[in-house]
Amino acid sequence: MTSTSDPRALRAELENLTTEAFRPDLAEIDRLPTLDIARLMNAEDATVPAAVAERLPQIAAAVDAVAERMASGGRLVYAGAGTAGRLGVLDASECPPTFGTAPGQVVGLIAGGPEAMVTSVEGAEDSARLARDDLDGLALTPADTVVGVSASGRTPYAVAAVRHARRLGALTVGLACNPGSPLAAAADHGIEIVVGPELLTGSTRLKAGTAQKLVLNMLSTITMIRLGKTYGNLMVDVRASNEKLRARSRRIVALATGAGDEEIERALTATGGEVKNAILTLLADVDGPTAARLLAESGGHLRAALASADG
């Protein structure tokens, strides 16, 4: 990989990346009316889902591999720098309230640490050692998965994270937005979403960032579906940590069971507010402890627990 100590070589490398390409047709964009710029930007963004669609088989294969590891107690770890790192941290932080994941079950690592979420940490993305240290701090096991995220696909932090994780026996996924990237090549599962040159040359928080967000949404959401964190399209492991989520919990129980308000309140009280357990008590006509046992025996899968109760 090119060293940042050789600026001419790095410049040449960047010039060959699709995400860094200059578009002469947009050279006068700053002279256009605001509405025209908005239309151009919207049209560019509209191409991203199609680019993601081209890689759905690779995404699905990665999801199945991640879910298999997590079902055995493994963790999902995102590692990236800049925008890519922030997107990983965002996705990880949304898993506990949405899917009731345990603390540390989904982790977002960003080069430079928490400070890098709001400010640039000079040199952090270029440090392979920092990536190794961050992962060693998690004490990775072969049950874990590390997803390296980088628009260019060459960011040293992300590439080193994937290489180090693979040496330790963890499952690895490389998410990039350029073809033939070192990141994808280093991973067990390479996913390259080629969105083309950006509206602003090299500003990969735009289309590349949108593509990464879409893929990370898929990785975490579909993995959680596979782990039994949903019942149909209902988030039955939602953690009711505020008034909105408490109201959502009651609505989820209602949608799953058709029960009335009083029944729902009794079921939630009997199960300590656990949505999945409350649904099971209502649909299978069992008490709270029995619901907890059935769910534990089914690995947290509500449909399996219902089948067991019926059997």
* Per-residue pLDDT tens over the stretch 242-293: 889 889 999 999 999 999 999 999 999 999 999 999 999 999 999 999 999 9
Helix (H), strand (E) at residue 110: strand 106-110
What is the spatial distance between Cα 102 and Cα 126, in angstroms, rounded to a whole number? 31
> CATH 1.10.8.1080: which residues of the chain?
243-310
* 5 — pLDDT class (breaks 50, 70, 90): low
Average pLDDT over residues 296-308: 95
> CATH 3.40.50.10490: which residues of the chain?
10-226
Summarize pLDDT for 214-238 with one digit per residue, the tens: 999 999 999 999 999 999 999 999 8
Write out the CATH class of domain 243-310.
mainly alpha
Specify whether 94 is catalytic. yes
CA-CA-CA-CA dihedral for 250, 253, 256, 258, to nearest 10:
-80
Does the pLDDT of residue 239 top 60, yes or no?
Answer: yes
Q: Looking up tokens 């602003």, which residue turns up?
A: 200
Cβ atoms of 206 and 173 within 8 Å: the answer is no
Please give the CATH number for the structural domain made up of 10-226: 3.40.50.10490
Which residue is catalytic, options 13, 68, 94, 265?
Answer: 94
For residue 119, the model assigns a pLDDT of 86
What is the spatial distance between Cα 303 and Cα 309, in angstroms, rounded to a whole number? 10
What is the spatial distance between Cα 146 and Cα 162, in angstroms, rounded to a whole number? 6
Give the residue among 225, 297, 271 at the shortest CA–CA distance from 311: 297
For residue 11, the model assigns a pLDDT of 67
For residue 12, the model assigns a pLDDT of 66
Give this prediction's pTM: 0.91
Summarize pLDDT for 9-36 with one digit per residue, the tens: 666 677 678 888 889 999 999 999 999 9
For residue 17, the model assigns a pLDDT of 86
Give the residue among 302, 42, 85 at the shortest CA–CA distance from 205: 85
Average pLDDT over residues 180-202: 96
Give residue 135's identity as a one-letter amino acid code.
L
- Angle between helix axes 288-297 and 275-284 (nearest 10 degrees) is 110
Residue 75 in tokens? 């963790």
Q: Considering the chain, what percentage of its residues have pLDDT values greater than 70?
A: 96
Question: Would the CA dihedral through 222, 245, 239, 145 be positive or negative?
Answer: positive
Which residue is catalytic, options 20, 44, 125, 192?
Answer: 125
For residue 3, the model assigns a pLDDT of 42
Q: Looking up tokens 């440090």, which residue turns up?
A: 127
Enumerate the β-bridge partners of residue 176.
Answer: 192
Average pLDDT over residues 200-206: 92
